[in-house]
């Protein structure tokens, strides 16, 4: 089951910032994830890298039949070929020289068996025995996995040339899945942001998601989840179709980058404890269902080759080696995802220089949970990006909204029969006109107007940074947007890949100051902030009242559990001492906010 050498992976980061990360880090054995949201972006970058690497390139036009799936497949095949060539070149490099082969082994964690054999090799005298070990070490050098990510809730059915919707098989999620399934990759697909039963059903059409006669799965399924119940429901649904979960990827609801999916107050520490306690349930419940499906389909289920159960991994707000060790050693996590910190590593991510400098100098106040996403989901944002400046300028010029060039996030039929995007000029013009006609106080109108014009074309802007970084577009024509997690405030330099990996493994000086609060403490603060914001905007529906009562209760229980963790011995660089004062302060805040909440309910009865 564990086909990796490193204890960390680089998760998907927006649409464009990890778009070529496998090219950068896979030849050094590091796993990473590409977003498949924007196939037009992938096509532009395929042309760039094909020309750069002497790979024949034939354009796949936007209007080509099944073009989205074909563009995704072509991009992934190009990535695979570039990595294959790079990996072969590294394998052919000599040992005992300053090169990428040496870097490959030096980056490995000290606990790695391969690293231990390498260290033994370095001390050996020249001769047949060392030559044999040299060949064996070279043979064991494997590239990192080229994993992909689909936001399953983005499942628009586009229109055909005649203006009518295409068939269901041409929906965004299904074409992305098909583009990956038709590729020759042997890797994993990360399914994030919800449940899509139509997509899950569609997966059964592709043999690569099932075990072969040797018991291997060519294309593995990773579910990104924010609670155990969701993991169990989705895993069981897929198991009934014979589809196995290779990995459950747990993410903090708020202490993360990109879109935030807040839980009902269940903190990450509590969630990890539940997965640890109930992990066997994921195996015992799913396996009989999977075997039953194979039997029904007349397929062999090679029991001897089957591992014990799915991996369970975690990401969101991790910042020190000590925190990473606690996640693995105390909570039993198999791997940890490090995302935002790698935005400051040019060797790993595709970020334009202006935005990278904003990230480097960003403080806590520059990173905020915004409402800019047309999806209506909280979105982690950075102040003063090209995207924010462009959006603000359009409002000042009385030309709010963006041209809807791709239609990825269309959702509203309030004013039109055909869905349009809340960030589009068309929607914002009509919405603002409606607000102007309302009989409301000026202050209320202005607040409503601000909420409308805040929506931004993130589906294009999130890819612009990659285009600018690669020289494909100019910044003034392609305003970049970025969605880092709040944890990046503690990283303030541009780092080499080795510096960041050494930081993750606790080798050498820490890249963050010792006073940085523990990731569990930071999450508590973020959730209390979120709770306060929800109380301020309370709509007083019974459902919302019940939810906030539940959040308050769960946050209190989560704080108690964090206090228990704080009593333990800290790992290297783990600031457990920050948890107690944080809980004390945030518990007092929570009580005050909840008291205000109850008064507001009484006043409105």
What would the mean pLDDT of 379-401 be, rounded to a whole number?
Answer: 94
User: What mean pLDDT value characterizes the chain?
Assistant: 93
In eight-state DSSP terms, residue 340 is: G
Instruction: Judge whether 247 and 222 are in contact, CB under 8 Å.
Output: yes
Instruction: Judge whether 216 and 229 are in contact, CB under 8 Å.
Output: no
Whether 548 shows a pLDDT value over 50: the answer reads: yes
Tens digit of each residue's pLDDT (9 = 90 or more) over 153-212: 887 777 777 767 777 888 899 999 999 999 999 999 999 977 888 999 999 999 999 999
Tokens representing residue 253 in the block = 């609801």
Using only C-alpha atoms, the chain has a radius of gyration, in whole angstroms, of 25
The H or E element that residue 222 is part of is strand 219-225
- At residue 304, the pLDDT reads 67
What would the mean pLDDT of 345-363 be, rounded to a whole number?
Answer: 97
- At residue 3, the pLDDT reads 53
Tens digit of each residue's pLDDT (9 = 90 or more) over 498-525: 999 999 999 989 999 999 999 999 999 9
User: pLDDT confidence of 604, banded at 50, 70, 90?
Assistant: low
Picking from 451, 594, 475, 472, the residue whose alpha carbon sits closest to that of residue 535 is 594
Using alpha carbons only, give the angle 557, 561, 564 rounded to the nearest 5 degrees: 145
User: pLDDT confidence of 21, banded at 50, 70, 90?
Assistant: very high
User: pLDDT confidence of 451, banded at 50, 70, 90?
Assistant: very high
Tokens representing residue 375 in the block = 């999806």
Lowest mean pLDDT among 1-5, 401-405, 457-461: 1-5
Angstrom distance (rounded) from CA 386 to CA 355: 8
User: pLDDT confidence of 265, banded at 50, 70, 90?
Assistant: very high
Tens digit of each residue's pLDDT (9 = 90 or more) over 584-598: 999 999 999 999 998
| Residue 347: partners with Cβ closer than 8 Å, 6 or more residues away | 24, 25, 496, 497
Give 227-236's long-range contacts (Cβ < 8 A, gap of 24+).
227/263, 227/266, 227/271, 228/271, 228/274, 228/275, 228/278, 230/195, 231/275, 231/282, 232/281, 232/282, 232/285, 233/195, 234/195, 234/200, 235/282, 235/285, 235/286, 235/310, 236/285, 236/286, 236/289
Angstrom distance (rounded) from CA 415 to CA 430: 7
Tens digit of each residue's pLDDT (9 = 90 or more) over 283-301: 888 989 999 999 999 988 8
Angstrom distance (rounded) from CA 48 to CA 471: 9
Angstrom distance (rounded) from CA 549 to CA 529: 15
What would the mean pLDDT of 85-102 be, rounded to a whole number?
Answer: 97
Angstrom distance (rounded) from CA 359 to CA 382: 8
- At residue 155, the pLDDT reads 77
Angstrom distance (rounded) from CA 180 to CA 571: 40
Identify the structural domains of the chain with CATH numbers, from first to last.
Answer: 9-54+70-84+140-342 (3.20.20), 369-481 (no CATH), 517-605 (1.20.58)
| Between 580 and 300, the higher pLDDT residue | 580
Show the beta-strand stretches assigned E in 316-465.
Answer: 335-337, 367-370, 379-382
Angstrom distance (rounded) from CA 587 to CA 316: 22
Beta-sheet pairing, 379-382 with 367-370 = antiparallel
CB atoms within 10 A of CB 201: 13
**Ramachandran angles phi, psi of 384, nearest 5°:** 70, 25
Whether 305 shows a pLDDT value over 80: the answer reads: no
- At residue 513, the pLDDT reads 96
Whether 2 shows a pLDDT value over 60: the answer reads: no
Angstrom distance (rounded) from CA 235 to CA 233: 6
- At residue 551, the pLDDT reads 96
Considering only the C-alpha atoms of the chain, give the largest distance between any 2 of them, rounded to a whole number of Å.
89
What would the mean pLDDT of 414-438 be, rounded to a whole number?
Answer: 92
User: pLDDT confidence of 1, banded at 50, 70, 90?
Assistant: very low
> What percent of the chain stands above pLDDT 70?
98
């Amino acid at each position: 089951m564990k086909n990796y050498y490193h204890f960390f992976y680089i998760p998907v980061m927006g649409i464009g910032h990890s778009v070529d990360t496998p090219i950068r880090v896979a030849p050094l054995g590091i796993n990473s994830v590409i977003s498949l949201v924007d196939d037009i972006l992938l096509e532009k970058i395929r042309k760039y890298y094909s020309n750069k690497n002497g790979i024949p390139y034939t354009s796949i036009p936007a209007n080509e039949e099944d073009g989205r799936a074909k563009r995704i497949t072509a991009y992934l095949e190009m990535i695979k070929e570039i990595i294959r060539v790079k990996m072969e070149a590294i394998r052919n490099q000599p040992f005992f020289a300053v090169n990428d082969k040496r870097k490959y082994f030096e980056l490995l964690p000290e606990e790695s068996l391969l690293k231990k054999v390498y260290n033994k090799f370095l001390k050996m005298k020249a001769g047949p025995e060392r030559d044999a070990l040299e060949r064996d070490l070279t043979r064991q050098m494997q590239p990192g996995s080229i994993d992909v990510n689909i936001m399953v809730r983005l499942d628009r059915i586009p229109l055909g040339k005649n203006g009518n919707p295409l068939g269901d098989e041409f929906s965004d999620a299904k074409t992305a899945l098909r583009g990956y399934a038709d590729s020759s990759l042997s890797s994993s697909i990360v399914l994030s942001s919800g449940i899509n039963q139509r997509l899950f059903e569609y997966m059964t059409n592709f043999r690569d998601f099932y075990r072969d006669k040797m018991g291997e799965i060519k294309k593995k399924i990773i579910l990104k989840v924010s609670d155990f119940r969701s993991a169990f429901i989705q895993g069981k649904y897929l198991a009934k179709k014979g589809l196995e979960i290779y990995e459950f990827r747990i993410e903090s609801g708020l202490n993360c980058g990109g879109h935030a999916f807040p839980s009902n107050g269940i903190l990450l520490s509590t969630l990890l404890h539940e997965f640890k306690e109930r992990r066997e349930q994921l195996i015992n419940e799913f396996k009989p269902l999977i075997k039953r499906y194979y039997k029904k389909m007349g397929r062999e289920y090679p029991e001897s080759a089957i591992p014990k159960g799915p991996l369970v991994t975690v990401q969101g707000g991790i910042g020190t080696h000590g925190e990473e060790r606690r996640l693995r050693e105390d909570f039993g996590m198999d791997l940890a995802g490090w995302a935002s910190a790698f935005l400051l590593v040019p060797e790993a991510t595709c970020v334009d220089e202006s935005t990278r400098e904003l990230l480097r100098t960003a403080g806590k106040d520059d990173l905020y949970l915004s409402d800019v996403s047309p999806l209506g989901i909280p979105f982690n944002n950075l102040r003063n990006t090209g995207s924010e400046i462009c959006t603000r300028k359009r409002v000042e010029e009385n030309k709010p909204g963006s041209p809807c060039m791709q239609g990825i996030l269309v959702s509203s039929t309030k004013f039109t029969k055909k869905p349009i995007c809340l960030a589009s000029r068309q929607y914002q013009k009509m919405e603002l006109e409606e607000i102007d006609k309302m009989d409301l106080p000026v202050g209320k109108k202005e607040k409503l107007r601000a909420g409308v014009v805040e929506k931004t074309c993130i589906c294009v802007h999130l890819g612009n940074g990659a285009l600018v970084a690669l020289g494909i577009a100019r910044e003034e024509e392609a305003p970049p947007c970025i969605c880092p997690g709040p944890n990046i405030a503690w990283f303030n330099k541009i780092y080499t890949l080795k510096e960041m990996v050494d930081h993750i493994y606790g080798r050498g000086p820490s890249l963050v100051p010792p006073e940085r609060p523990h990731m569990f403490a930071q999450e508590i603060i973020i959730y209390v902030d979120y709770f306060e914001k929800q109380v301020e905007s309370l709509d007083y529906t019974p459902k919302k009242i019940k939810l906030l009562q539940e959040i308050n209760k769960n946050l209190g229980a989560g704080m108690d559990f964090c206090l228990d963790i704080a009593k333990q011995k800290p790992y290297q660089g783990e600031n457990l001492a920050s948890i107690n004062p944080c809980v004390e302060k945030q518990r007092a805040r929570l009580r005050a906010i909840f008291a205000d909440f109850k008064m507001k309910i009484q006043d409105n009865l």
